Structure 1
């Protein structure tokens, strides 16, 4: 049966999520932080006759996260997406999205494929000076959004002012930046969906004027330092080989792919 999940299903949900904790990081983080009945979040799952979860779908504001082991419940996922005319993005690990596409013949308007990497707590990393790096607060929300809008690669970003404020207020993510010379932000890197095991690195970017000075690497190094202290791992996805070399230098290792379907 594919149905909406509640807090009563949590003990069924966790074994499914923790079998692939990195691939299910968004699901873990959003459920741990916001539960099953937040106004901006909904959770569905396919549960078999033995009470085991095999597929999950989560709406967070205007985007969806999908994960499956078997593809069961795919037709219901299609119906949910069709009923919501406001969503923009469906994403998840590449194996799950490939299974979904094959099960129902789903054809998105556009697809993006990424490398998916994880970093274990305490993985070796070089010593990098992070003295310029500062942590963003609610006062920096508009500046963070403005920086991201200057980055061509972020043209498809679904981050909104509301979701960014929610991340900072709930402490489900960290946002580090290096200031520019005229009060703007030169570079930044963020985490989202922090949970008891890990967090997802997102929004790694540098304003074109400041590129080549190592600012993004400094922001990332600060993130690694912080999460090493917390004993938590990190995950990220990327499609830029140059960025991939930076991530590898900081201890990230590729473990698969990440796929985004656009409505």
Structure 2
């Protein structure tokens, strides 16, 4: 039976999700940070005498978790319509039986780090970013990923510690950076690993990741990340990251592209 969660379900939801704290990081973090009474977030629990799964709607995104790989396609279709869902995420095993014509499907490896390898690189010029660095971080991310980030949003995330950024500078420019995108008490998702084109293949990405991961591990948080690029995979493997599962992202296709 599907039940819309309220504050009274917090302990039950988190206990279920913490059976797999790394792979369920997004759901744990969103419940811890935003709870059950926000207009942009709604949580459902699939249960009878046992819990079978959690469905979390965050704005127009849906994340599904189920330890027994159980998903209700009709309920998902209802959520897609009601909340105008644009993206659905979850472990591959959970989503592989879900077929929605309007959505494409991508897969990547999900990895976590327990211990940094001894050969991990360090750089004395690495430092943790402050809010005033946001504009230069935006410049790097926009250049590398061809995006249009908001400096104010980056500054706010740094200030509130919603995300932490580590940077390397040369000549007044941020030339390399990495950051956490979501954190719980147990784990953190990393992303935004970027190096300016003329500074690549010098070990800078490894160095900045070493600094970021080292700080997280010292706080008892396991660094986690997604990747599908082989070159990135080699960097992460050298640092000590190991695959723990496959992750599926289903994206709503634009009209006319199907």
Structure 1 length normalisation: TM-score? Answer: 0.83
Match in the other structure for 1:55: 53
DSSP-derived class of the 1:33 partner: helix
Is this contact kept in 2: 1:29–1:199, CA < 8 A? no
Aligned residues: 251
- CA 1:204–1:7 in structure 2 vs 1: closer, same or farther (change >3 Å)? same
Match in the other structure for 1:9: 9
DSSP-derived class of the 2:13 partner: helix
DSSP-derived class of the 2:208 partner: helix
Deviations 1:211-251 (A, max 9, x none): 12222111100112101211221111101111111111111
Q: CA deviation at 1:142?
A: 4.2
Match in the other structure for 2:105: 111
* Among 164, 179, 189, the residue aligned to 2:169: 179
Match in the other structure for 2:255: none
Gaps of 5+ in 2: 253-258
Q: CA RMSD in A?
A: 2.6
Alignment of 1:36-185 (within 5 A): 36-48=36-48, 50=49, 52-68=50-66, 69-85=68-84, 87-99=85-97, 101=98, 105-120=99-114, 122-152=115-145, 164=154, 167-181=157-171, 183-185=172-174
Match in the other structure for 2:245: 256
Find the aligned partners of 1:7 and 1:185 in 2 and give their Cα distance.
Answer: 42
Find the aligned partners of 1:70 and 1:213 in 2 and give their Cα distance.
Answer: 42
Gaps of 5+ in 1: none
Higher Rg = 2
- CA 1:226–1:58 in structure 2 vs 1: closer, same or farther (change >3 Å)? same
Q: CA deviation at 1:167?
A: 3.7
Q: Is it true that 1:247 corresponds to 2:236 in the alignment?
A: yes
Q: CA deviation at 1:20?
A: 1.5
Q: CA deviation at 1:19?
A: 1.6
- CA 1:94–1:144 in structure 2 vs 1: closer, same or farther (change >3 Å)? farther
Structure 2 length normalisation: TM-score? Answer: 0.85
Find the aligned partners of 1:255 and 1:186 in 2 and give their Cα distance.
Answer: 31
